[in-house]
Amino acid sequence: MIALIPEPMLHRVVPRPLDVEGATARITTLLAEREIFGWQDAVGPQATLVDVLSTFIALLELAKRSALTLSQSEPFGPMVITRAIPREAA
């Protein structure tokens, strides 16, 4: 009887191509137009899982490059994206 029980499939990994370059371009355009904007503006309307992941990675990369800052006023609060102020050369 035990031999007839199918082995459970614990999970299935589905590859999804991310579009970090496209998300970076969208965020860069928003930074040129506005000083401050929110997550919903960055990810766009009717975002898919690929859009969300691509946008999040693009935001982290742009923050690492000091092109923007990310902040939240409280845990799980809305994300605020702010254009970085250019630094003066020393």
pLDDT band of residue 4 (cuts 50, 70, 90) is low
Q: Given this model, what pLDDT does residue 59 score?
A: 97
Helix then strand then coil, in percent of the chain rounded to 5, is 40, 15, 45
Q: Given this model, what pLDDT does residue 88 score?
A: 56
Question: What does the pLDDT look like over 8-67, one tens digit per residue?
Answer: 767 777 787 999 999 999 999 999 999 999 999 999 899 999 999 999 999 999 999 999
Q: What is the pTM of this model?
A: 0.77
pLDDT band of residue 7 (cuts 50, 70, 90) is confident
**Domains, the chain, with CATH or none:** 18-83 (1.10.10.580)
